[in-house]
Amino acid sequence: MGASMLALGAQAAGPILGGLGGRAEAKAQKQQAEINAFIGKTRAIQTDTAAREGLSAELANFRTVMAANGQRPGVGTFEVMQQVRDVRGRERRIEVANRNQEASAYKMQAAAYGAAGRNAMIGGIARAVPSLFDMYELRKGA
């Protein structure tokens, strides 16, 4: 009885340890995906800041060139500057949205890895149940 109990115990331990290993691997992947999501969000903020600073520098340069040429601000120059603001603003919004979308994809990936870890653990336990039941029956019969 001792040898068969030991064999059944080993049969039960294998799937449980496999489930624990799968859970640990999924947890590490989830953590990496969360880190990537944070990096993506940071890049979105940096992209937004850089684009705003670039626009300010571009408009300041435009004003300097106009002043050097002796042109006074007026409706025409205002329209040109407004057009530059509109175009650069649209480009900035698109780029920031793309970076945020990348971050969101990593967040969804992290959630999927979390579910995969739970499923690996549950699957390991489920595969061990027949061996555990056999151990119970063997012990009950003794």
Taking the domains of the chain in order of start, what are their residue ranges?
2-141
Question: Which tens digits make up the pLDDT trace of 54-112?
Answer: 999 999 998 888 888 888 777 778 888 899 999 999 999 999 999 999 999 999 998 88
In b/e form, how buried is each residue of 114-134, taking b as 16+ CB within 10 angstroms? Answer: bebbeebbeebeebbeebbeb
| pTM of this prediction exceeds 0.75 | no
Distances (CA, A) of 68 to 50, 65, 126, 129: 27, 5, 79, 84
Beta carbons within 10 angstroms of residue 19's beta carbon: 22
Crossing angle of the two packed helices 2-68 and 75-141, in degrees rounded to 10 = 180
Q: Pick 76 or 142 by higher pLDDT.
A: 76
Task: Identify the pLDDT of residue 88.
Answer: 93
